[in-house]
């Protein structure tokens, strides 16, 4: 069921968006060569406790997860692109790190993701795939306006990604956000403009383009959660929670 938020409810979601953005900013600053993924998770956990918030991940156990997630942050490194389960791994120079974080503040959820290259060594193709997900996200937000269709968002993402030469996986994508992390509608990363749900003020969704450099096919790691590219190529992930308004979309998780 798709739920539209009132203007007051959208306003009430702002603290969650600001908090999620602040955590990702802190994590980006902390992510450096030699830093353990478990330390990044601990930092996010500490910030949740200090804010009086709740994790959306720690007890999360959907059908595609082997067990409750058990951590508060997704840390996907290199050939991992989604749902990376934090583990005992120290970041290395040149690693491509994606951070995905969602939390609830005062009963409202926000969800966001960002990718970065760790250290001084920067592979041009890694930066290109990061830049493409960010450009696709910006293009999608640009058409997320009342009266347009959900397919316009999907088509905008696909146009950027296909235009850069990447294949697009539609197995995982964006989603509705509100009192819970995942709700209707599903927001695919590929689709046809002018099709689907009419965007109306009060609709709050997470838009999240993600790509892998050499494939659109995934497999699940032995940890039961981390999704990796089948060919070992690196991936990137960008995401914001936005609200449809009477005017321009409101990016709740803007950093």
- Determine whether the annotation assigns residue 83 to a binding site: yes
Q: How confident is the model at residue 146 (pLDDT cuts 50, 70, 90)?
A: very high
Measured between alpha carbons, how far is 228 from 231 in angstroms, rounded to an integer? 9
- Determine whether the annotation assigns residue 239 to a binding site: yes
Q: Region 125-150: what's the mean pLDDT?
A: 98
What's residue 81's pLDDT? 97
Specify the CATH number for 7-251; select among 3.60.15.10, 3.90.230.10, 3.40.50.300, 3.90.1640.30: 3.90.230.10
Q: How confident is the model at residue 135 (pLDDT cuts 50, 70, 90)?
A: very high
- Determine whether the annotation assigns residue 123 to a binding site: no
What's residue 125's pLDDT? 98
Question: Which tens digit of pLDDT belongs to each residue from 60-98?
Answer: 998 888 899 999 999 999 999 999 999 999 999 999 999
Whether the per-residue pLDDT at 157 is higher than 90: the answer is: yes
- Determine whether the annotation assigns residue 135 to a binding site: no
Question: Which tens digit of pLDDT belongs to each residue from 212-246?
Answer: 999 999 999 999 999 999 999 999 999 999 999 99
- For 213, list phi and psi in degrees, rounded to 5: -65, -35
Question: Which tens digit of pLDDT belongs to each residue from 45-54?
Answer: 999 999 999 9
Q: Region 118-140: what's the mean pLDDT?
A: 97
- Determine whether the annotation assigns residue 61 to a binding site: no
pTM exceeds cut of 0.75: yes
What's residue 1's pLDDT? 86
DSSP of the chain: ---PPPHHHHHHHHHHHHHHHHHHHHHHHH--TT-BHHHHHHHHHHHHHHHT-EESSTT---TTSSS---SS-EEEETTEEESPPP-S-B--TT-EEEEEEEEEETTEEEEEEEEEE-SS---HHHHHHHHHHHHHHHHHHHT--TTSBHHHHHHHHHHHHHHTT-----SS-EEE-SSSSSEEEEE-SS--TT-SPBP-TT-EEEE--EEESS-S-EEE-TTSS-EEETT---EEE-BEEEE--SSSPEETT--
Question: Which tens digit of pLDDT belongs to each residue from 158-204?
Answer: 999 999 999 999 999 999 999 999 999 999 999 999 999 999 999 99
What's residue 94's pLDDT? 98
What's residue 66's pLDDT? 85
């Amino acid at each position: 069921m798709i739920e539209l938020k009132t203007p007051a409810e959208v306003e009430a979601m702002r603290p969650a968006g600001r908090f999620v953005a602040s955590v990702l900013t802190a994590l980006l600053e902390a992510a450096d060569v030699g830093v353990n993924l478990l330390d990044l998770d601990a930092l996010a956990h500490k910030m949740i406790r200090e804010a009086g918030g709740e994790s959306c991940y720690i007890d999360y156990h959907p059908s595609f997860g082997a067990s409750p997630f058990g951590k508060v942050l997704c840390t996907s490194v290199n050939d991992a692109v989604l749902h990376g389960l934090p583990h005992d791994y120290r970041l290395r120079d040149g690693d491509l790190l994606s951070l995905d974080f969602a939390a609830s503040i005062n009963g409202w959820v926000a969800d966001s993701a960002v990718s970065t290259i760790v250290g001084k060594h920067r592979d041009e193709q890694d930066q290109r795939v990061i830049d493409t997900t960010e450009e696709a996200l910006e293009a999608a937000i640009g058409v997320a306006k009342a009266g347009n269709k959900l397919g316009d968002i999907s088509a905008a993402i696909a146009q950027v990604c296909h235009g850069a030469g990447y294949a697009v996986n539609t197995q995982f994508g964006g989603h509705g956000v509100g009192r819970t992390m995942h709700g209707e509608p599903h927001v695919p990363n590929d689709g046809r403009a002018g099709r689907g749900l009419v965007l109306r003020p009060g609709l709050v969704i997470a838009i999240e383009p993600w790509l892998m450099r050499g494939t659109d096919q995934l497999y699940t790691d032995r940890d039961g959660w981390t999704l990796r590219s089948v060919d070992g190529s690196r991936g990137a992930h960008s995401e914001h929670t936005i609200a449809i308004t009477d005017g321009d979309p409101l990016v709740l998780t803007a950093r």
